Structure 1
Amino acid sequence: MLTQAELLTIDDENKEDLTRFSRSIVGDMPIAEDVLQEAWMKFLRAAGTRQFDEPVAYLRTIVRTLSLDALRRIKRENARISGPLSDGLEAADHNSPGPEQTAIARLELERLQGIMAELPEKTQQALLAYWQEEKSLRDIAQMLGVSLGQAHGLIKNGVEHCRLRMRGREKQN
């Protein structure tokens, strides 16, 4: 079973990511926060009775399941509430991002591009091929003229650098 200190560490280190993960599914921050609170309560009950090899993965699974449940509930409620509009207008697409979410996403993308610019050229090329072009590691290795293991290392190091910098931390050597 996990100690109180381990539980606090899991909460401190993962709360923001899990909230963002839930929000990406449900599309609404207050609902995502409610989902995370419910997931945390389920996780605490389970942590009191069993041992986990990967507690964060288990918590993320709970968050995903509860987020999908919340999304289904939202869609059911919206379908029940909204019917054909009397003036002939279409109902707004509740899943499309609003102007604020679009602006935030654009700023995060610009920030990520700046962070990627800090990386060596080969690492940038590997990440872009992996993320944008969805190339396999074998194709990336061939494209860059490196071994498969080196291609994997470039992507792993690049992702780690971006993750740490997006969270506002410097990479520690």
Structure 2
Amino acid sequence: MPGKNKALGIYAAHRGELVNYANRILDDHARAEDVVQDAWERIAAIERKGALAEPRRYLFRIVRNLAIDISRVRKREARRDGGDIADIAELIPDETPSAETEMIARDELRCVLTGLEELPERTRLALTLHAVEGLKLREIAERLGISIGLAHALVVEGKTHCAKRVPRRP
């Protein structure tokens, strides 16, 4: 049974490394141990049928595939069952903007504020009432004592002016 001895030798020599590898994927040491054991059983069964050219590489591949499969199953179950809080937290995407995105947004805001300061008083007020306070054109017209059409024209003019102040990004 030379194939079994070779598989056993590879398993024994790299067991700790394999467990660490699986644990990095699963973040669960006990499950990583199980994955490595399952992988060794599979490679031993394959080697009984014939020699493998690169059994160490193949063993690592089996461990990786098994660990990824278990990880996917855990995530699916967490979504379906509600899962435990740690599993659910992994599924929530990080929506924190990058430093670059934040810098670009601040720069654009600075440009818009500069554009807003350049507008005539009535146009600036109409745009602020619409964009910041969320008033409808009818409400802006009543507050400023103008027609709805003029309120609309002032808001459009203000938005267009401010948009021109924001540099175009590739």
Q: TM-score per shorter chain, which class?
A: 0.3 to 0.5
Q: TM-score when scaled to structure 2?
A: 0.47
Report the structure number with the largest CA radius of gyration.
2
Q: TM-score when scaled to structure 1?
A: 0.46
